A and B are shown apart, each in its own frame.
Chain A
Amino acid sequence: MKFAHLIAASILVGTLAMPAASFAADKPVVGLVMKSLANEFFKNMLEGAKAHEAKRGDYTLKAVGMQSETDVETQINAIESFITQKVDAIVVAPSDSRALVPPIKRAVDAGITVVNFDVALDDKAKEEAGLKLAFVGPDNREGAKMAGDALAKKLGAGAKVVIIEGNPGADNAAQRKLGFMDSVAAGKLDLLDSRTAHWETEEANTVFSNMLTAHPDIQGVMAANDSMVLGVVKAIEAAGKTGKIEVVGFDNIPAVQPLLKEKKLLATVDQFGQLMAANAIDKALGVVAGGKPLEGWVKTDIKLVTSDDVK
């Protein structure tokens, strides 16, 4: 009973708010569905989008974030409320590449332009739902290969390396691992072990210390994100092996800048997260303004960052 009231109330609020929104000089409204804003990467991305809104000035941005990385429910609710509010475009970074397909299909059916960025929706799930949707985002596999290749070039063929993986089941973690594996194959590296540290600094420190005990001859580490690099570098320092083990990471977060400068981190990959949402919004507004619908995979920039890039 209570729930029904709540739903009724929220619908009422939605419809009341709607005329006010469309009143604002007919600027198109873009609904942005983000992942966890507790994650620095997405927080920066949101700030980039807000700066973009102020700069362009020809659209209104409504952003929704989640409590945690796996809070799928909040994203589904956000998309449904955007449909009710009849926004012009929805730009979404899905927390789950399958669960988000049905609500996105409803949005598309309601005539809303939807752009999928950051993490691609599952192709099979899209096909089953009869949904055709382009993906705007970086090639994580290619990025990881760039970092892995830098490591292979530095160490040479036959070098003994390990991989520290992201969350098992996460698409970007899987793609980055594949990219590292591509480098292992291309550079003829000797992969000793590959384990997850769930994207976390402390866990990466523990897991890598233990790997180093099992394989004291490790020469290189490929970590799937820079938070884990922080833990790996501390483990190398604690083992007194600074300079003897090369590390590459991913994301180019501020906290690894000193490590790049001191050459404790060989390279990391910047996927320009701050611009990612803004780029996707540009693409969505292009379609809203009558442009050609997007197709396939619209790849965004990635760049290898080394100590040369740090002043």
Chain B
Amino acid sequence: MDTTDLTTAPAGSKTIATTTKTVLREAGIGIALIALIIVFSFTPHFLSSSNVTNILTQVTINLVLSIGMTFVILIGGIDLSVGSVLSFCAVVAGTVMTLPGLDPAVAVFLATISAIVAGIGFGLLNGLISAWWAIPSFIVTLGTLNIARGAALQVTNASTIYSFPAAFNAFGSQTFYGIPLLFLIALVLVAIGWFVLTKTVFGRVLYGIGNNEEAARLAGHNVFFYKVAAFTICGVLVGIGAIIYMARLNIASPIIGIGFELNAIAAVIIGGTSLSGGRGSVVGTLLGACIIGVLANGLILLGLSDFMRQMITGFVIILAVILDKYRERLTKA
């Protein structure tokens, strides 16, 4: 609710001081990640190349969803529907991919397009409804969470779709020098997200809306358009996330993705993006998703019980938000 000078600043006029602040903010999260890695590196196997491959594989889906979630949270919104929409996109794509008589390459291509289109559909729905009637996106996406889940169950009659083309299955486990191909795709998406948010007018306006919607409106920006755009971008990423899920696990089912929205929100928040909007970055989100992934992996290698693991993950989320409060004060001073 505090207005900083950033709100009305035109694109490209960032001072050296604010750049330093941004770097400091992300460095903080980076240090946390490195500290975590150092702690876990004392357990055997943690730094082995196959374990690094595992962690990166396990981080990928959450990372892709978190990039989209960053856009939505930056404008002060939230998207609770991503897990259900992922499931809907996956069953649509799975249905297309297993259509009889299609050439495997054509089937995979059409499936990918249909997953993204389905994601865009739900993104538009979320954006249009929340922006047009000025309904909190929390409520709207709670509704679409149920719509998407119900639709996924309806389309499949609650059954699991499996047996995708062998080439698609192989693509999902491809690695380059130990780095999973799917993770590299996610990294490209992070780079695109970073570019859009920091190097384009479009991105700066999104920050502006998150900081002070009214000021952005008075500055002549079409706030309605930007809000719908943010949710639609999130939808595109959910569609891509669905294809990545299918490539990794070789199934599509209407009951997958339950709770994925919470992991994505956690990654964004741990990554230093403010829940009230206007502050944060996709690079932070990348680090946040890695922290969650490293924690889940390291705690199993340490041999901690499932219940302890769940508790520690909870503590880390709270700790991240508290640290963020201090960082905010520090960088403002």
Compute how far the CA of A253 lies from the CA of B161 in the bound complex, rounded to whole angstroms: 11
Compute how far the CA of A264 lies from the CA of B246 in the bound complex, rounded to whole angstroms: 19
B residues at A contact (CB < 8 Å)? 44-46, 48, 50-51, 54, 57-58, 61, 149, 153, 157-160, 162-163, 173, 245, 248-251, 253-256, 258, 296-297, 300-301, 303, 306-307
User: What is the minimal beta-carbon distance from A5 to any residue of chain B, in angstroms?
Assistant: 25
A-B contact count (CB 8 A): 85
Compute how far the CA of A207 lies from the CA of B297 in the bound complex, rounded to whole angstroms: 8
A residues at B contact (CB < 8 Å)? 37-40, 43, 168, 193, 195-196, 200-202, 205-207, 209-211, 213-214, 216, 227, 230-231, 234, 237-239, 253-255, 258
Compute how far the CA of A210 lies from the CA of B57 in the bound complex, rounded to whole angstroms: 11
Inside 8 A of A209's CB, which chain B residues have their CB? Answer: 54, 57-58
User: What is the minimal beta-carbon distance from B80 to any residue of chain A, in angstroms?
Assistant: 15
User: What is the minimal beta-carbon distance from A200 to any residue of chain B, in angstroms?
Assistant: 8
Per DSSP, are chain A's interface residues mostly helix, strand or loop, or mixed?
Answer: helix
Compute how far the CA of A275 lies from the CA of B288 in the bound complex, rounded to whole angstroms: 47
Residue pair B306, A195 in contact (C-beta under 8 Å): yes
User: What is the minimal beta-carbon distance from B43 to any residue of chain A, in angstroms?
Assistant: 8
Compute how far the CA of A238 lies from the CA of B250 in the bound complex, rounded to whole angstroms: 12
Residue pair A195, B300 in contact (C-beta under 8 Å): yes
Inside 8 A of B149's CB, which chain A residues have their CB? Answer: 38
Residue pair A39, B255 in contact (C-beta under 8 Å): yes
Residue pair A38, B158 in contact (C-beta under 8 Å): yes
Inside 8 A of A254's CB, which chain B residues have their CB? Answer: 159-160, 162
Compute how far the CA of A231 lies from the CA of B256 in the bound complex, rounded to whole angstroms: 12
Residue pair A37, B158 in contact (C-beta under 8 Å): yes
Residue pair A213, B45 in contact (C-beta under 8 Å): yes
Residue pair B296, A255 in contact (C-beta under 8 Å): no
Residue pair A213, B301 in contact (C-beta under 8 Å): yes
Inside 8 A of B157's CB, which chain A residues have their CB? Answer: 43
Residue pair B250, A230 in contact (C-beta under 8 Å): yes
**What are 5 sample pairs from A and B whose C-beta atoms fall under 8 A apart?**
A40-B158, A193-B303, A209-B58, A210-B297, A213-B50
Compute how far the CA of A201 lies from the CA of B87 in the bound complex, rounded to whole angstroms: 13
Residue pair A40, B301 in contact (C-beta under 8 Å): no
Residue pair A38, B254 in contact (C-beta under 8 Å): yes
A214 with B300, Cβ < 8 A, contacts A38-B254, A202-B249 known: yes
Compute how far the CA of A43 lies from the CA of B54 in the bound complex, rounded to whole angstroms: 34
Residue pair B173, A237 in contact (C-beta under 8 Å): yes
Inside 8 A of B160's CB, which chain A residues have their CB? Answer: 40, 227, 253-255
Residue pair A201, B158 in contact (C-beta under 8 Å): no
Inside 8 A of B255's CB, which chain A residues have their CB? Answer: 38-39
